[in-house]
Amino acid sequence: MSTVLQINNLSKSYGSTVAINNLNLQIEKGHVFGILGPNGSGKTTTLSIILGTIKANNGTFTWFNQNTNTSHNKTIGSLLEQPNFYPYLTVYQNLEIASLIKEIANPQQEIARVLQISDLTIKRNAIYRTLSFGMKQRLALASLLLGDPEVLVLDEPTNGLDPEGIVQVREIIKNEARNGKTIILASHILDEVEKVCSHVAILKKGNLLTVGSVNDLLKADDEVVIVCDKINDLFELLKQKTFHKSIDLYMNKITLVLQNNVNPAEISEFIYKNGFVLTKFDVVKKTLEDHFLEITK
Amino acid sequence: MVKLYKIELKKLLTYSTFWVFISIITGLFLLFSFLMAIFEINFMFGGADYNNQFNFQNLLKFPHVYNTLSWVASWFNMLLTLLIIIMVTNEFSYRTYKQHVIDGLLRHELITAKLMVIVGISIIFSIIVWLASVVYGFIYSEPENYAQFFTNSYLIFVYFLQTIAYMSVGLFIAIAFRSVSLSIIIYFGYLIFEGIFALILRFTEMNIYKFLPAKIIRGLTPTPDIDVVMNTKQIAESLENAGDITLWQHSLIALLYSVIFIALSYYITNKRNL
């Protein structure tokens, strides 16, 4: 697997406010990489630096293992913060300008393609300022898909969209991911990231708190709640074992937080083999939101 | 370069503010040059008859016409500065400069593209002034003046340099301050400040006031000499004696100022966040 983006010791401050503090990240080809964090955590600043609109104070980054300037952005489709277009031009004319910058070979064909994907064909001659915010956001999506880029960088892509628009955007992201595209998605909507991302990094106040695959993160800290006939005996037995990170007995219920590599079925089998009769065995899986709140608190 | 030209053309073709400014400047220039052509002063003073003594049409003969019409056109150069300020600050308020970089344009290309617009506008207005000069020159010159068709025609090039200088000031202010209202206030504020500063320097007999940017740039198109109107002086003489600095020195210093303003625009764009 080849590295698409490598960030080394990236830092950015605005006066005494630290926006990013010594950030290191590596994003591989084909990953759908979510950058999570509360407002002000440094998500947009990170994306702005890697896209060349903000200068970092320290650190480096490389796209495709090359030290590049912003001309490399032609092969990256990006939507940063909000759609930025000429208000007096039509949807089509704005896409023509983007096509010229990206040096697209067949602009007419390509514009027709992205207008169709973003469901804007009927609005191609509408003046940009007359569009609703949702339509503007869709135009931004159309623009970033121009030239079928290998990498998509999206900052809060569902902001301001109605539920139908959100579903459409998610579908576009999923389709692009299925086609092997690398996607970098910054969001504070955890459900969005959980639904579409393969990997995630969590930032808070410019610091990287955790990074890894979404599956590993969700698998971590699964809880098992057990109720049985001889609960105190079982509690004493389980306490001696190592397959849990913590164990607690409260109101005749045992709560185990499992080690990352332990399957709950192994515990069930162990209890059965030791002659206990279970009346309740619940596996409680934490959502990304639970993990996020735990990590960022 | 072709790509940048195409991008700027797409932005300008349907940009109404651009066409309004271009139409106003062209219209005012044609109107004032026409007024000059039909202007007459006939009066009696102290018993002396001045009827037919002031001949403004002399200013429209070869070779004076180039000086006259470039001077008339220069009255509206401030509008060109405002036009560039509006065009560039719009890129910031629409956040399109940011988007262009995100889409793959290099930062210096943002300035190069606007520089191409500046040169393009300067060429168009220089052609308009040259064409008007040729037309008026042939209408008002006697056949014996036709031989002087090329004499002083270099003043059209000087006018071209002047429009570039005016617009490069606008480019620099817009890049530095980003907001249209602030940029316009800074521009006019500077003109007032320079005027007062020049006056103070003049009182202290310091000749440096002659080299201040606005004065240098404004002075590129010299005022036609009234003696030409009265048929008593040749234009070459009036140009050479316009001040301690010759027109060519003026041009060189103005060019230097333009280069500084443009270089600063590149520097700021490369250094600052978008």
Q: What are the CB-based long-range contacts (under 8 Å, 24+) for A228-236?
A: A228/A271, A228/A276, A228/A277, A228/A278, A228/A279, A228/A280, A229/A276, A229/A277, A229/A279, A230/A276, A233/A276, A234/A271, A234/A274, A234/A276
Contact state of B95 with A71 under an 8 Å Cβ cutoff: no
> What is the total count of domains within chain A?
2
**Two tokens, residue A205:** 């106040």
**B59 touches B224 (CB < 8 A):** yes
**Two tokens, residue A292:** 């996020």
> Do A30 and A134 have their domain in common?
yes
d(CA B233, CA B50): 18
Quick one: A119 exposed, middle or buried, by C-beta within 10 A (0-12, 13-18, 19+)? middle
d(CA A71, CA B204): 53
**B243 touches B219 (CB < 8 A):** yes
d(CA B227, CA B239): 12
> Do A131 and A205 have their domain in common?
yes
d(CA B10, CA A85): 13
Res B44: pLDDT? 60
Quick one: A11 exposed, middle or buried, by C-beta within 10 A (0-12, 13-18, 19+)? middle
Which domain covers residue A283, as residue numbers?
Answer: 220-296
On whether any CB of chain A is under 8 Å from the CB of B242, the answer is: no
* List of chain A residues with pLDDT < 50: none
Q: Closest by alpha carbon to B83, among B33, B117, B130? A: B117
Res B267: pLDDT? 97
d(CA B153, CA B72): 15
Non-local CB neighbours of A34 within 8 Å, separated by 6+ positions: A185, A186, A187, A193, A196, A197, A199, A200, A201, A214
Q: Closest by alpha carbon to B8, among B88, B102, B99? A: B88
Reduced to 3 states (helix: H, G, I; strand: E, B; else coil), residue B50 is coil
> Do A48 and A190 have their domain in common?
yes
On whether any CB of chain A is under 8 Å from the CB of B1, the answer is: no
At which residue do the structure tokens 């990498």 appear? Answer: A151
> Do A118 and A247 have their domain in common?
no
**From the list B6, B14, B102, which residue is nearest A100 (CB)?**
B6
On whether any CB of chain A is under 8 Å from the CB of B103, the answer is: yes
d(CA A238, CA A233): 9
Res B45: pLDDT? 61
This prediction has a pTM of 0.86
On whether any CB of chain A is under 8 Å from the CB of B112, the answer is: no
Q: Closest by alpha carbon to A92, among A66, A53, A118? A: A118
Contact state of B7 with A72 under an 8 Å Cβ cutoff: no
> Residue A268 corresponds to which amino acid?
S
d(CA B217, CA B165): 7
Residues in chain A closer than 8 A to B273 (CB atoms): 48, 53-55
Interface test with A, best of B99, B108, B116 (most A CBs within 10 A): B99
> Do A210 and A242 have their domain in common?
no
Res B235: pLDDT? 47
> Do A147 and A238 have their domain in common?
no
d(CA A9, CA A204): 16
> Do A12 and A135 have their domain in common?
yes
Assign residue A105 the CATH number of its domain: 3.40.50.300
**From the list A71, A85, A88, which residue is nearest B106 (CB)?**
A71
Chain B residue closest in CA terms to A85: B96
CA distance A247 to chain B (A): 51
Of A152, A182, A217, which closes a domain?
A: A217
Assign residue A242 the CATH number of its domain: 3.30.70.100
Which letter does DSSP use for residue A81 in this model? S
On whether any CB of chain A is under 8 Å from the CB of B16, the answer is: yes
Res B229: pLDDT? 58
- Residue A217 CA from chain centroid, whole number: 13
Quick one: B244 exposed, middle or buried, by C-beta within 10 A (0-12, 13-18, 19+)? exposed
> Do A114 and A240 have their domain in common?
no
Res B95: pLDDT? 96
> Do A235 and A108 have their domain in common?
no
Res A256: pLDDT? 87
What beta strand segments (E) does chain B contain? Answer: 44-45, 48-49
* List of chain B residues with pLDDT < 70: 40-55, 226-244
Q: Please state the ipTM of this predicted complex.
A: 0.87
Partners of A228 in beta bridges: A278
> Do A159 and A82 have their domain in common?
yes
Reduced to 3 states (helix: H, G, I; strand: E, B; else coil), residue B132 is helix
Pairing type for strands A17-28 and A32-36 reads unpaired
Contact state of B3 with A101 under an 8 Å Cβ cutoff: yes
d(CA A192, CA A197): 8
Which residues numbered 47-66 in A keep a CB inside 8 Å of some CB on B? 48, 51-55
Res B238: pLDDT? 47
> Do A246 and A181 have their domain in common?
no
Chain B residue closest in CA terms to A72: B104
Residues in chain B closer than 8 A to A86 (CB atoms): 11, 94, 96
Interface test with A, best of B90, B95, B103 (most A CBs within 10 A): B103
Asked if residue B224 has a cis previous peptide bond (ω within 30° of 0), the answer is no
> Do A202 and A242 have their domain in common?
no
Of A189, A217, A245, which closes a domain?
A: A217
**A31 touches A215 (CB < 8 A):** no
Question: What letters, b where the CB count within 10 A reaches 16 and e where it falls short, cover B136-174?
Answer: bbbebbeeebeebbebbbebbebbbbbbbbbbbbbbbbb
Residues in chain B closer than 8 A to A74 (CB atoms): 103-104
CA Rg value for chain B: 21
Res B57: pLDDT? 78
Of A217, A240, A267, which closes a domain?
A: A217
Signed CA dihedral, B139, B142, B146, B150: sign only: negative
Contact state of B10 with A88 under an 8 Å Cβ cutoff: no
d(CA A267, CA A259): 11
Q: What are the CB-based long-range contacts (under 8 Å, 24+) for B95-100?
A: B95/A82, B95/A84, B96/A84, B96/A85, B96/A86, B97/B274, B98/A53, B98/A80, B98/A84, B98/B274, B99/A84, B99/A85, B99/A98, B100/A101
Quick one: B204 exposed, middle or buried, by C-beta within 10 A (0-12, 13-18, 19+)? exposed
